[in-house]
Amino acid sequence: MSGRERILGRVRRALAGAPGDDIPYERAVARDYLREHGERTAGQTVDLLAENLADYRAVVHRTDAAGLPGVVAGLLTARGASSVLVPPGLDEDWLASTEVTRVADRAESTPRELDRVDSVVTACAVAVAETGTIVLDGSPDQGRRRITLIPDHHICVVRVPDQVVSSVPLALARLDPARPLTWISGPSATSDIELDRVEGVHGPRTLEVVLVR
């Protein structure tokens, strides 16, 4: 008998006398907890998002729709980027003010090829103010998950206030769990046992979030 069979046997014996449970999943757990903490205006919610993003060492920029192409171009220039990954559904106007070489999000691109790209620009699905989290769901304006994990510089555009919610429960209500969700709280970082922080280990070293009115 294998270790797996022994463990499963113990589980079956432990559950042998347990009553059956026919409660549907959606009613099995009480969900009467707070959906958000406190009351805020839309503007206050966006301000909280910006504060928590910065606390996670993301770089936050604010502009309006007319100014967005100039902001994106300025960020790419400041980075010294010569190439930028572009999801297939990204609004073309966002890159209208830059002449940086555009690289398409292709299924056949290898990790080595993606690593040679300087920057990536995406939209997002939703942003969570209380946690300073950006969520991507693989929609056409966000592209495949790997294009935001391999390049070292990620510019993420958030439409405010429409795409900003106060809390994780409110964000979950907007998301499709069947989609490939990527939750981003600041640039990629980890710490060793000495608490020495190292950035860029499993994602972009620099995250710049543009809040667009």
**Mean pLDDT score, 5-30:** 80
**Mean pLDDT score, 79-90:** 97
Residue 1 structure tokens: 């008998």
**How far, in Å, CA of 140 to CA of 88, rounded?**
6
Tell me which fold the domain 41-212 belongs to. Answer: Rossmann fold (3.40.50)
Residue whose tokens read 């572009």: 86
Q: What is the pLDDT of residue 14?
A: 86
Lowest mean pLDDT among 24-33, 79-88, 131-140: 24-33
Q: Which amino acid is residue 49, in one-letter code?
A: L
Q: Where are the domains of the chain?
A: 41-212
Quote the pTM value.
Answer: 0.83
Q: What is the DSSP string of 52-81?
A: HHHHTT-EEEEE-TTTHHHHHHHHHHHHT-
Q: What is the pLDDT of residue 200?
A: 67
Cβ pair 158, 124 in contact under 8 A:
yes
**How far, in Å, CA of 73 to CA of 185, rounded?**
24
H-type alpha helices, the chain:
3-15, 25-28, 42-55, 68-79, 111-115, 168-174
Q: What is the pLDDT of residue 106?
A: 94
Q: Does position 23 have pLDDT exceeding 80, yes or no? A: no
